[in-house]
């Protein structure tokens, strides 16, 4: 008797294969590597649903923006066109951001509008693509806005955007760093520039003693406040966390307001 193990036809069947008369095995059924498995199909459905939800939120945000900005909506739409065009081409926005430009960016910045007083001088530090500085300037023609940006490519983008939007008489674009500026402003704004301890060191000389810092922050705002407790106390500052919705359709924006105590 041969010691060679005999082939088990049932083993072939369990693996979706059939043995031919010549002994060769060919696949007849079972799961295909090319067909999506159940878990993959489920994941694809979830991704598709998430995209539909995002698209719905974006549409609602754009509708809310039309009501919020009123006569300035056309100009804001022009700025959005610049962002999703040159802004992406120049690498100032990621390739996914055009899909959520209103909900994630424009309306997040618009939360600052009801906090800023009338006719004041505003400095937007690290303005980047103009968020929030250009949103503020377009929505509030009563404000004088300075966009401060140290990087040449972003500075050039801002200059071109201001020119294209016809904001030359209201908006000044400067290239430089906050710590090198020797002016005073009523309001200093920023978004995604630096953590609060470093940000305060840069901006306090620009808004003290009678101005304020309005910083758009994320979920780490409480942690940043805790890390800044010493500098806030040492300089006699008061800090307030504000949760503001530009319109009911959009997410809450976390605004940190810092003033002289």
The verdict on whether residue 24 carries a ligand-binding annotation is: no
The verdict on whether residue 89 carries a ligand-binding annotation is: no
DSSP the chain: ---SPPP-HHHHHHTTEEE-TTS-EEE-SS--SSSPPHHHHHHHHHHHHHHHHHHHHHHHHHHHHHHHHGGGHHHHHHHHHHIIIIIHHTTSS-TTGGGGIIIIIIHHHHTTTTTS-TT-EEEEET-TTTTTHHHHHHH-TTSEEEEEE-SHHHHHHHHHHHHHTT-TTTEEEEES-GGG-----SEEEEESS--HHHHHHHHHHHHTTT-EEEEEE-TTHHHHHHHTHHHHHHTTEEEEEEEE-SSTTSPPEEEEEEEE-
The verdict on whether residue 43 carries a ligand-binding annotation is: no
The verdict on whether residue 167 carries a ligand-binding annotation is: no
The verdict on whether residue 191 carries a ligand-binding annotation is: yes
User: Annotated binding residues, as ranges?
Assistant: 126, 131, 178-179, 191
User: Annotated binding residues for S-adenosyl-L-methionine, as ranges?
Assistant: 126, 131, 178-179, 191
């Amino acid at each position: 008797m041969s010691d060679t193990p005999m082939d088990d036809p049932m083993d072939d069947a369990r693996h979706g294969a059939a043995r031919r008369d010549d002994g060769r095995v060919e696949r007849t059924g079972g799961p295909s590597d090319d067909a999506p498995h159940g878990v993959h199909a489920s994941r694809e459905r979830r991704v598709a649903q998430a995209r539909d939800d995002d698209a719905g939120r974006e549409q609602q945000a754009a509708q809310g923006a039309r009501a919020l900005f009123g006569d300035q909506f056309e100009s804001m739409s022009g700025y959005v066109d610049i962002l999703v065009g040159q802004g992406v081409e120049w690498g100032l926005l990621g390739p996914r951001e055009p899909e959520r430009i209103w909900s994630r960016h424009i309306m997040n910045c618009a939360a600052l509008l009801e906090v800023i007083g009338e006719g004041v001088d505003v400095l937007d530090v690290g303005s980047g693509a103009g968020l929030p500085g250009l949103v503020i300037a377009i929505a509030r023609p009563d404000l004088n806005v300075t966009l401060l940006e140290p990087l040449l490519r972003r500075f050039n983008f801002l200059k071109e955007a201001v020119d294209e939007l016809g904001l030359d008489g209201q908006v000044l674009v400067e290239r430089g760093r906050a710590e090198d500026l020797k002016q005073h402003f009523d309001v200093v704004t920023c978004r995604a520039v630096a953590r609060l301890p470093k940000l305060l060191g840069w901006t306090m000389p620009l808004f003290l003693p009678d101005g304020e810092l309005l910083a758009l922050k994320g979920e780490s705002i409480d942690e940043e406040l805790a890390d800044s407790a010493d500098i806030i106390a040492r300089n006699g500052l008061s800090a307030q966390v504000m949760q503001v919705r530009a319109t009911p359709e959009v997410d809450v924006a976390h605004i940190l307001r810092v003033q002289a105590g």
